[in-house]
Amino acid sequence: MADKFYLTTPIFYPNAKLHLGHAYVVTLSDIIARYHRLVSDKTYFLTGSDENTQKIIKPAELEGKTPQEFLDEKVESFRSLFTALNISYDQFIRTTDQKVHWPGAQMLWSKLVEAGDIYKKEYEGLYCVGHEAFITDKELVDGKCPDHGTVPERIKEENYFFRLSKYTDAITQKIESGELAIVPETREREILSLLREGLQDVSFSRPRNTNSVGIPVPGDDTQVIYVWCDALANYITALGYGQDETLFKEFWPADVHIVGKDILRFHAAIWPGMLLSAGIPLPKKILVHGMVLSGGKKMSKTLGNVIDPEELLTEYGTDAVRYYLARHISPFEDGDITREHFKDAYNANLANGLGNLASRIMQLAQTHLTEPVKLTFTPYPKGYTDALEKFEVNRASDMVWERIKALDTSITQSQPFKVVKEDLERGRELIAELVRELAAIDLLLEPFMPETSKKIIEAIMANKKPENLFPRKD
């Protein structure tokens, strides 16, 4: 029976260009969303941008733009990258959207207040402007922030705090009972050991100053909501929480939040704590993926190993990029991409693999069959659906490529091109069988490579060789 399926990506910071790591997150999410639509689940796929950050003020000034112009342009570039990757999101939420996002975030804040979990406290600490956050003495290297190389300021301010410490046991119980599943298990163990140390209360607001961006604290104009009750709230405000709750009622709780390991703690500790406090059901799962590296190292400008997704898309096309991200990067561990490996994988598995197979078979069909082969629906193999239910997109795509290889081998062995000359009917039947298996494989390609899948099925239905799907690259 079909279910509802609500999945979310993290919301992206607009202060920098998106790189291949970000492209990975949205592509992985898109494959999962498309799979759920394929099995007829009522699917809702949310992505967006995390915009209430002071980090954009300087870059905007440098480009001679107002913060709003700067943000609008960045968001446009995110959307156009997502279009180029064929990401089928249902909604793109912007946290600067005062109609969609702010009322819900403020409502959530008020619920935390009602639960008695927000209190005011004077806070003194080392503030790093680059991080827009307090950092601890322990994190400093030679008295400086190791990421920004700047000396932090000692500041004293009044903030509202959220009583996260109160929820340590409740969150632990939810995770241990599997009500809130953290996938893979290694990440679940990581979070459980963090919980065993006990959670600390967290700063939930900042004093408003001239440069302040963000959502005013309800009932206290001198403070703005800090990160957590702003960014994390997007997952429910997008569904109309606190306003028109039609979508919220239909889709919450989230079936899966897809996040990188660097933001696991926020999603598996702070977010559940907030939801428990507000009396809102917890998400069912958090899928924690690894980082995409290049040549074993974090992509960085100084190392010169940054791979721009747009560049790959222009050179190889959408489905080639989706293919690589799906099959050659594990959703649970750090993955790797280099231009060389990308090209090798492309030539071996797309140009010589899938592309060549489709063209070989359809060439035979076009030459020897008088009409398109009649197709019957073949159910999805259990191994394939099991893998995709568990988010193992690499394993599911491996299964598809095993069938591609097997079909290639069977052409070589059965030699239909010879058989048609000796026994036309038997030859035709052989070719029709090959076409049927190509169609069955093609069906499984849909979540990974929707455009290619469509082109192949159209070629089959027209009994025509498809255009050259993946030209060889030298």
Shortest reach from residue 25's CB to ligand MSP, in Å: 5
Give CA separation, 58 vs 61, 70, 150, 159, in Å.
Answer: 5, 10, 16, 25
Distant-in-sequence, close-in-space partners of 18: CB < 8 Å, separation ≥ 6: 12, 77, 78, 81, 309
Considering only the stretches 7-15, 178-186, 314-322, 372-380, report the one whose residues sit in contact with ligand MSP under the rule CB under 6 A.
7-15
Distance, in Å, from the CA atom of 105 to the CA atom of 186, rounded to the nearest integer, reads: 32
361 binds ligand MSP (CB under 6 A): no
Q: Report the residue from 6, 7, 11, 362 that binds ligand MSP according to the rule CB under 6 A.
A: 11
CB nearer to ligand MSP: pick between 39 and 107: 107
Distant-in-sequence, close-in-space partners of 150: CB < 8 Å, separation ≥ 6: 128, 129, 130, 144
Shortest reach from residue 325's CB to ligand MSP, in Å: 10
- 17: exposed, middle or buried (Cβ count in 10 Å: 0-12, 13-18, 19+): middle
Bond before 184 cis per omega within 30 degrees: yes
CB nearer to ligand MSP: pick between 42 and 297: 297
Distant-in-sequence, close-in-space partners of 428: CB < 8 Å, separation ≥ 6: 368, 369, 420
Distance, in Å, from the CA atom of 405 to the CA atom of 114, rounded to the nearest integer, reads: 61
Collapsing DSSP states into helix, strand and coil, what is residue 256? strand
CB nearer to ligand MSP: pick between 12 and 470: 12
Shortest reach from residue 205's CB to ligand MSP, in Å: 17
CB nearer to ligand MSP: pick between 232 and 357: 232
- 336: exposed, middle or buried (Cβ count in 10 Å: 0-12, 13-18, 19+): middle
Residue type (1 letter), 1: M
User: Terminus-to-terminus CA distance in the chain, angstroms?
Assistant: 47
Residue with tokens 């062995």: 413
Which residue has the closest beta carbon to ligand MSP? 260
Q: Report the residue from 5, 6, 12, 109 that binds ligand MSP according to the rule CB under 6 A.
A: 12
Shortest reach from residue 375's CB to ligand MSP, in Å: 38
Cβ atoms of residues 161 and 118 within 8 Å: yes
Number of residues located near ligand MSP, criterion CB under 6 A: 18
Q: What part of residues 267-326 is at the interface with ligand MSP (CB under 6 A)?
A: 291-292
Shortest reach from residue 234's CB to ligand MSP, in Å: 6
CB nearer to ligand MSP: pick between 46 and 364: 46
Q: Report the residue from 71, 232, 288, 432 that binds ligand MSP according to the rule CB under 6 A.
A: 232
Q: For the window 17-56, what string marks contact with ligand MSP as x by the rule CB under 6 A?
A: ----xx-xx------------------------x------
Shortest reach from residue 393's CB to ligand MSP, in Å: 14
Residue with tokens 């069955």: 440
Shortest reach from residue 94's CB to ligand MSP, in Å: 12
- CA dihedral (110, 162, 223, 130) in degrees, to 10, reads -140
Shortest reach from residue 470's CB to ligand MSP, in Å: 25
Distance, in Å, from the CA atom of 362 to the CA atom of 466, rounded to the nearest integer, reads: 7
Structure tokens at 123: 């806070």
Distance, in Å, from the CA atom of 405 to the CA atom of 259, rounded to the nearest integer, reads: 33
Structure tokens at 339: 């231009």
Shortest reach from residue 7's CB to ligand MSP, in Å: 13
Shortest reach from residue 192's CB to ligand MSP, in Å: 21
Considering only the stretches 8-16, 129-137, 392-400, 459-467, report the one whose residues sit in contact with ligand MSP under the rule CB under 6 A.
8-16
CB nearer to ligand MSP: pick between 10 and 355: 10
13 binds ligand MSP (CB under 6 A): yes
Q: For the window 252-271, what string marks contact with ligand MSP as x by the rule CB under 6 A?
A: -------xx-xx--------
CB nearer to ligand MSP: pick between 5 and 12: 12
Q: Report the residue from 10, 184, 214, 353 that binds ligand MSP according to the rule CB under 6 A.
A: 10
Shortest reach from residue 232's CB to ligand MSP, in Å: 5
Q: For the window 412-431, what string marks contact with ligand MSP as x by the rule CB under 6 A?
A: --------------------
Nearest to 309 by CA among 321, 300, 291, 301: 321
Give CA separation, 328 vs 19, 44, 87, 321, 400, in Å.
Answer: 17, 26, 19, 10, 13
Binding site for ligand MSP (CB under 6 A): 10-13, 21-22, 24-25, 50, 231-232, 234, 259-260, 262-263, 291-292
